[in-house]
Amino acid sequence: MKSGAVAAIGVGATAAVVVAALVQAAGDNPILNEALSISVPSDYQELIEEAGNTCPDVTPNLLAALLAQESGFDPKARSPVGAQGIAQFMPSTWESHGIDGNGDGERDVWDPEDAIPSSATYLCTIADDVKDVPGNKQHNMLAAYNAGSDAVRKYGGVPPYEETQNYVRSITALADTPASGKGASSTQAATALNAASAMLGTPYSWGGGNANGPSTGTCCSPSGRSGTSVKGFDCSALVLYAYAKAGISLPRTAARQYAASEPVQPGRVRPGDLVFYGNSATGIHHVGIYAGNGWILDAPRPGTEVRYSPMDTMPDLYAVARPRTNHSKET
């Protein structure tokens, strides 16, 4: 969240902190009901479901997606620019919009029982602020949460800030993703993430990598870069390798990996899920592994290495999905 145009997405965790957090998230949280999953601590389930019905413009799924994007459900999250708590309120915004959600006589930005209801009521307030602005009302509301209502009114919709546009796309993509079926267990997800994190710093290689590890690639990428002399991974090979270590064999390409996975709702997103980018199911061009706190682990492009990237690293986030446990061979 921002009170102006200052970036405040994510919590800026180091790689080591991210890995520690995602392993804990994968192993400690119990499976909940269909509304929320192990990616959301059980203490927050009722809070999100109740607060997500504060007004017609806010839903539990949207609120869960926003909290996942803002802090990864970390009540102690603090951004480099000063945003605080599970909903990443800037101090000035909390001063004017924070509420005593649990009725204990104190408005505490670090207490999810205050911050989650405050986030929902603030969303409802800014939805009303920008209700007369043309365009999608939820998109405008999210843009105002990130960039401020004045910016949304000034530009007549989502402002032309790359960060804000990616923020809106990321949250709405998560909020609109359906869920069904059985996917990889939390233990398999943690195993895959550990395997992928062990490859941090490995070069990107177009067509490189397989279930056994890094390998030289092929020629050539759309930009003309060849992987024939580079030993490493491309994006889908990193995923293929990581989940092979967890006992799940996946297809080679990102689009086929999506077809071999089950889409998940925002409240069900957890570390180890796969984040896909593209304009359609058959047009997926990139995949990364969700690492928590708004970050993915991926092999981005020629000239880079396996690394942690923000979830909004590309503007066309298509879906988040979980590999099926019954997918047993490459296709």
Compute CA distances 219 → 163, 206, 215, 224, 311, whole Å: 33, 7, 13, 8, 28
C-alpha triplet 311, 317, 318: angle, nearest 5°: 140
CB atoms within 10 A of CB 36: 25
Distance (Å, whole) CA 157 – CA 98:
25
Spatial contact of 193 and 270, defined as CB atoms under 8 Å apart: no
Annotation says 34 is catalytic:
no
Distance (Å, whole) CA 5 – CA 167:
13
H-run or E-run covering 243:
helix 235-245
CB atoms within 10 A of CB 225: 16
Spatial contact of 151 and 143, defined as CB atoms under 8 Å apart: yes
Q: Which of 70, 106, 162, 262 is catalytic?
A: 70
DSSP state of 43: G
| Structure-token match 């990581």, residue found | 242
Long-range contacts of 20-25 (CB under 8 A, 24+ apart): 21/72, 21/74, 21/271, 21/292, 21/293, 22/190, 22/193, 22/271, 22/272, 22/291, 22/292, 23/190, 23/193, 23/194, 23/271, 25/72, 25/270, 25/271, 25/292
Distance (Å, whole) CA 193 – CA 22:
8
Q: Any idea which residues carry the catalytic annotation?
A: 70
